[in-house]
Amino acid sequence: MRPKDIHSRVKESRYKSWQLYLLAASAIAALGIYLELEIVNSTLQIIESSISGWSWIAILGIQGVLIGFGAEFLYEQGDGYAKSAGHLFGSKDRTLFFRVGVMTAVSGVMTKVIPPVLRAHTEYLTLQSAGAVITLGIMLVHTGSSDWNPETEWPAIVAGTLLAISPSIL
């Protein structure tokens, strides 16, 4: 099968092209790591070293997604202004002060904890962080969505998960 034929099939699929290509690349990388194929490991190391200057963006992405989950818990969209602990403070000003304090503390902990943990447990920091951001980001976007069908985005979720965990597990 020629690359043009493959691309035609990908475009005709009900999934987004980038999701399928990312899934294919992630599956090849995970399989190569599992089988200890030197060409795959070398390629991943070259990619990682060429984009390692951008690792701080991937780490910030993970922190942003995790803070987003925290904000989703603390805030409510719609008619109500408060979700978590709003009834305890008696005013919007005190509730805002509480939430800013909580999000500042969460952000500070994540700034001090997440980067060292990631560096200690990941072989390909930027690639694995990007995979985690893809998976967690898709989950965050659909948090609280009652009509989300995960089947529409499973290739990206699986691809991000493979990128995020396969180098550390396999």
pLDDT tens readout for residues 120-141: 888 898 999 999 999 999 998 8
- pLDDT over 70 (residue 97): yes
Residue pair 78/150 in contact by the 8 Å Cβ criterion: no
pTM of the model: 0.79
Better pLDDT: 36 or 67: 36
Write the single-letter amino acid at 121.
H
- 3-state secondary structure at position 89: coil
Task: Taking residues 94-114, report their average pLDDT.
Answer: 79
Domains: count for the chain: 1
Range of the domain at 15: 3-169
- pLDDT over 70 (residue 72): yes
Longest dimension (CA), the chain: 67
What is the rounded CA–CA span in Å between residue 134 and residue 23? 12
